[in-house]
Structure formats: structure tokens, C-alpha cells
Amino acid sequence: MNRRTLFGTAAGATALAAFARERSVLAKSSDMDVELRGSTGRMERLGTLELESQQDFTLGFRVFHAKKMRRMSGMLLNDALIEAGLDPKETMTYDQMLEIADKNPQINLASRTWIANQQVTWKTLQDYFHANADMYLSEMEAADNIGPGTLELSPDMYVPEYTRHEIHIQPDGYVGDPFAGHVYHYGTNSFYISVLGHNEQDQIHKNVAGRLPLPADGKVKRILDMGCGIGQMSAALKERFPDAEVWGVDIGGPMVRYAHMRANDFGNGANFRQALAEETGFPDGYFDLVTSYIMHHEVPGEKTKEIIEEANRVLRPGGVYTPLDFVSGGTTGRAAQLHGRWFDHRWNNEVWSLSYHSIDFTKEIAKRGFKKIAGAPPIARQFGDRNFAKT
């Protein structure tokens, strides 16, 4: 059921009543809940129909782009390689690929339409939350100190320059806008639908959280989700392990603030802390499970190595480390593969993505006090096989 079908149908009325019951968790513990046009489960409706329609439009375009225009652009690259006397299956460098791709106006057109759509998606959302700043800030303030989970913000902490970029063109990035969490939540909804599937109810995070392997002794008392963003994975882990102490850490204060408010909304007791993944502040050996979801391609390769070391430090012996991110490794490849990575880097402002791909993430883990867990299946094809236990 989507948000349109929720209104004016018997099934919709039943679903709305269920959601209202869910929302009463917040009403009991806080006097401020902004839900102007109702909610579809974990996704609150946007405040105006006009904005919601704009988001539907950009989402639709993004799906069309992912399914058709990127494919067309791939075919054009193939043709251009053949015309230049090259075999599309050949391994080449970024420079060799760009020599062909960057000169092709049709390929560039596909890239530019994508970026324009991405910019409109973010800007319309950011403008909306800023136009209603008082109301949305008051809502977050009201939720800061209520539970079931806790929130630890560190407004004076050092925020490294490398985290300040406007990754995937999100205006002011994860750390510079008080509504970074709100904007990210709605903006990434279209990313998920066009690339990985529906995630309005955290379906993707729940699926992944449900498949993480356990330590050999089966004991899971404490869990850490690094670079937790708006806490979709952290909340899903708390649902899978209701008795465990679950922590999500993220450098973005506005991200964890929104994560905390959102988790409270549906009565989820995950805890959130503003902290760097490479310096989480937890004691040695504290956790049984450490994970992360699509954080590493957004940090420099050298930082990824530090983060692996921090994961090792905070895990107990036998604890499990399963960081989820794209298969990495190599500065050469087939033109189509390199163009995909280049597209993200150049057009989606994934500033660290080439740095991420320049190291072999899986091998870097194996070098730092971890051993592959025999027989644990990979969590998802595009994320490779990174189920490790601390030795």
C-alpha cells in the first residue's frame, strides 16, 4: 500500500488507525509531534500536496533515468569504444575511458539530466524544511530528551573537513544543515526505489539487519552501527535484537538527531551518538556486533583503514564485523564499470568514491585482526563477502 491508497479506502482507514496507534507512543512522551498530513507507517507525509507531487515527479524521472537513460548511455559508450577500435570488454584506466566518454555529447546529456533532477529533489525539500524551520526544530527539541532510546550530541566536537562535502549533492551535506536528516530521508527514498528497491518502511535495512551473522557463541548483548545516518539500520537491529543495547554513531549531528526522533516515534529504543566512526568513544571489547551500511564509499580510503581498526578495538574476541558497502578494489576495469563509478564521482559528488575504490576493502579487513567467517553467505551480491570475526 502506498500513501495515495491510504486515503479513502477501507484498507486505508484500517492502516491509518494502526499508524495512529503507533504514533501515540510519541504523544505519550512528548507534547510536540508535527505530522501535518498524516503518516504512512515510518514515512510522514510531506506538508503540502504540491511538494509531495514534486517529489513524485523527480522520483519518477529518476526511475526512468536509471532504467532507460543510463542504459542508453551505456549503449552509446559501447558504440563509441567500438568506433575508436577498442574492445568494450578490455581492461582500461579511467583516463582511457574518459578519452572516449567525455567527448560524447549524448552521454554527457544523460549525465546532466540526472544531476538536474537530483538538484531539484534536494532543493525543494531543503526549501520546504527551512520555510517551516521553527515548527520542525521545535519538534526535534521536544524529542531530544525523551526515550526509549538516548541521544548524545556533541555540538563542539571537531568535524573533519572530509566529512563536510555535499555528498550526492545534498546541500550543506550531512553536517551543515539542521534539517540534513529530514532532507536525507525523503531524498534517499527515490535513490532506493530507483537502485535497490522500496525502503519507505526500512524494508532494505530490515532485510540486511536480519541476515547479519552472529558470533560463534550466539551471544549478542551490544551492537554498533557506524555511520548510522538517520538510523534505519540501527532501528532494524534493535527490532531483531530487542534485548540488546544498540548504538548508532554518525558525524552528522542533524542526522542522529533526526534518527533519535524517528526511532522514538515508533517506540524503538536504539541509542544514537554524534561521533566519528574512527573514534567512537566506546571502551575496548564493548560490542558483539559491529556493522555499517553504505558509509565507506563516502570516506577517504585511508580513513576506511582507521575505521576497520576502530571496529577491531571495540569488538570483543569472537565478535562479528560486517560492514556493508559496494565491492571495491582497482583503478582499472571495463569501460562500463569505470564509467559508472566516474558518473557517481563526477556527477553525484561522491568525492571519496574513487579513493574508496582504490583500496581493496575486504583485503584491508583481513589484514587487521579479523578472520572470514566460514560458511556465512554474503549479505548482498553488490556488497561482496565481508562477514568477519575478530580473532
3-state secondary structure of 252: coil
Q: How far is the CB of 310 from ligand SAM (least distance, A)?
A: 9
CB 326 within 8 A of CB 382: yes
Q: Are the beta carbons of 355 and 301 closer than 8 angstroms?
A: yes
Nearest to ligand SAM of 33, 44 (CB atom): 44
Span between the terminal Cα atoms of the chain, in Å: 46
202-206: long-range pairs with CB below 8 Å, 24+: 202/42, 202/232, 202/235, 202/236, 205/232, 205/233, 205/235, 205/236, 205/293, 206/236, 206/239
> Residue 346 CB, nearest distance to ligand SAM (Å)?
18
Instruction: Give, as one character, the DSSP assignment of residue 276.
Output: B
- CB nearer ligand SAM, residue 149 or residue 227: 227
Query: Do residues 48 and 288 touch, judged by C-beta distance below 8 A?
Result: no
Distance of closest approach, residue 174 Cβ to ligand SAM, in angstroms: 3
Closest residue by beta carbon to ligand SAM: 229
Count H helices, E strands: the chain?
14, 12
Specify the residue, 110 or 301, whose C-beta has the smaller distance to ligand SAM: 301
Provide the grid cell at 92: 582500461
**What residues make contact with ligand SAM under the rule CB under 6 A?**
163, 174, 227-229, 232-233, 249-252, 255, 276-278, 293-295, 298-299, 303
- Whether the link from the prior residue into 215 is cis, omega within 30° of 0, is no
Q: Specify the residue, 177 or 288, whose C-beta has the smaller distance to ligand SAM.
A: 177
Q: Are 30 and 52 in contact (CB under 8 A)?
A: no
Least spacing, CB of residue 43 vs ligand SAM, in Å: 14
Given the complex with ligand SAM, which of 255 and 335 has the nearer CB atom? 255
CB-based contact 122:169 (threshold 8 Å): yes
Work out how close the CB of 256 gets to ligand SAM at its nearest, in angstroms, rounded to a whole number.
9
Compute the least distance from the CB of residue 153 to ligand SAM, in Å: 14
Pick 100 or 233: Cβ nearer ligand SAM: 233
- Please, what is the minimum distance in Å from the beta carbon of residue 206 to ligand SAM? 12
**Of 210, 195, 204, nearest to 229 (Cα)?**
204
Nearer to ligand SAM, 167 or 376 (CB): 167
Q: Which is nearer to ligand SAM, 202 or 288 (CB)?
A: 202
| Closest distance to ligand SAM from the beta carbon of 245 (Å) | 19
CB of 22 to ligand SAM, least distance (A): 21
Cell of 202: 526500512
Query: Which of 242, 311, 290, 229 has the alpha carbon at shortest distance from 270?
Result: 242
Dihedral sign, Cα of residue 263, residue 386, residue 296, residue 289: positive
Q: Which of 270, 150, 127, 285 is nearest to 209 (CA)?
A: 270
Nearer to ligand SAM among residue 100 and residue 303 (C-beta): 303
Q: Quick one: CA dihedral 192, 183, 59, 74, positive or negative?
A: negative
